[in-house]
């Protein structure tokens, strides 16, 4: 039921873009990778769940799947341990992030909270409850952290916004609101922090916003309403996640575009890789990505696999 509602939103989102949107996207430069591999997801009761979110921590990769599990893969793509979310029967979580203090934070979307684990899967604490007030959530869906250990949480569900929390859980700021204007969101499903700026993947509005981390709105990098002179190839089709590499580039996974897109922090398109499909060099509704110095990992959700793109 939830997936049907999401598909309805996606079909009517992005200001009712026609199906031929991005007809010049093939003109974008192609990203080059030295090797591409695919990791399999472990089954549950003879079914193969799909990955939704993933994050790299040292030699391990933490993955959320649609069975409500946290899976820990080693660097070669083998699962070394796993655990279930405390209330996975309520709904499946949608983002995972390893904090600087070593805890694993999970946006437990349909339970209206963030859950913290140690690396063995033991619950270390929780943040939030249902509501629209400070420190409350409707559907928390995105996480990132700054270099001081402050946590940013993006949520959707009609109260779309980003909240900033201190390491002790105190609300420091909240910014954005539901809507289609600059600085407003429809499903802020991806967050990344760099040098005092927060990059927000505004999925349904098909754009990336930039805020100062005190909540001051700065600008919109890429979106449906392209800046004057911007080619159509620069458009985004449902950006569901955004990550930064160590060199300052932004990487975006496009849910409907079926690709990984690289941008500069000024919003200049560097290149793309992938297209919608089920074979090699294809993605189907990719949900999240993680980046380090050597590779990009993509939660290829519709194809129920993880793509490893070696740089």
- Is residue 237 in some structural domain? yes
Distance (Å, whole) CA 87 – CA 219: 38
**Average confidence (pLDDT) over 160-168:** 97
16 is a domain residue:
no
Q: What is residue 122's DSSP assignment?
A: -
Residue 49 within any structural domain of the chain: yes
Q: Residue 232 has what pLDDT?
A: 54
How many domains would you assign to the chain? 1
β-bridge partners, 171:
165
Neighbours of 310 (CB within 10 A): 11
Classify residue 14: in a domain, yes or no: no
E-strand stretches of 166-213: 171-175, 177-178, 184-185, 188-194, 197-202, 207-212
Q: What is the pLDDT of residue 256?
A: 92
Question: 234 and 248 in contact (C-beta within 8 Å)?
Answer: no
Pairing of strands 275-276, 269-273: unpaired
Its pTM stands at: 0.89
Phi, psi of 238 (to 5 degrees): 60, 70
Residue 295: inside a domain: yes
> Is residue 18 in a domain?
no
Residue 3 belongs to some domain of the structure? no
In a domain, residue 25? The reply is no
- Residue 92 and residue 84 in contact, taking contact as beta carbons nearer than 8 Å: no
- Percent of the chain surpassing pLDDT 90: 77
Range of the domain at 237: 35-310
Lowest-pLDDT choice from 83-92, 253-262, 302-311 = 83-92
CATH number for the domain including 278? 2.120.10.30
Least confident among 18-27, 127-136, 260-269: 18-27
Residue 301 DSSP symbol: G
1 pLDDT higher than 60: no
pLDDT tens, position by position, 290-300: 999 899 999 99
């Amino acid at each position: 039921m939830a997936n049907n509602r999401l598909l309805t939103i996606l079909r009517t989102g992005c200001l009712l873009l026609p199906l031929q949107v991005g007809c010049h996207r093939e003109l974008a430069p192609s990203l080059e990778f030295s090797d591409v591999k695919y990791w399999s997801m472990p089954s549950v009761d003879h079914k193969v769940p799909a990955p939704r979110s993933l994050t790299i921590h040292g030699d391990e990769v933490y993955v959320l799947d649609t069975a409500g599990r946290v899976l820990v893969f080693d660097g070669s793509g083998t699962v070394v341990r796993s655990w279930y979310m405390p209330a996975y029967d309520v709904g499946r979580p949608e983002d995972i992030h390893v904090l600087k203090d070593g805890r694993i934070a999970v946006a437990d979307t349909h339970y209206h909270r963030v859950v913290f684990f140690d690396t063995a899967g033991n619950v270390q604490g929780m943040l939030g409850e249902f509501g629209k007030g400070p420190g409350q959530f409707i559907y928390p869906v995105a996480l990132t952290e700054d270099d001081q250990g402050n946590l940013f949480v993006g949520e959707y569900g009609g109260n779309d916004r980003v909240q900033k929390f201190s390491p002790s859980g105190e609300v420091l700021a909240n910014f954005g609101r539901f809507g289609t204007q600059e600085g407003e969101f429809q499903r802020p499903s991806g967050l990344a922090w760099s040098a005092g700026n927060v990059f927000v993947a505004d999925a349904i509005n098909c754009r990336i916003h930039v805020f100062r981390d005190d909540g001051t709105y700065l600008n919109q990098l890429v979106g449906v309403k392209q800046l004057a002179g911007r080619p159509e190839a620069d458009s985004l089709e449902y950006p569901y996640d955004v990550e930064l590499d160590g060199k300052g580039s932004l990487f975006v996974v496009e849910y409907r575009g079926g690709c990984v897109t690289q941008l500069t922090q000024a919003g200049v398109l560097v290149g793309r890789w992938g297209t919608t499909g089920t074979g090699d060099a294809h993605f189907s509704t990719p949900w999240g990505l993680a980046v380090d110095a050597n590779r990009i990992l993509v939660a290829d959700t519709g194809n129920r696999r993880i793509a490893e793109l070696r740089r």
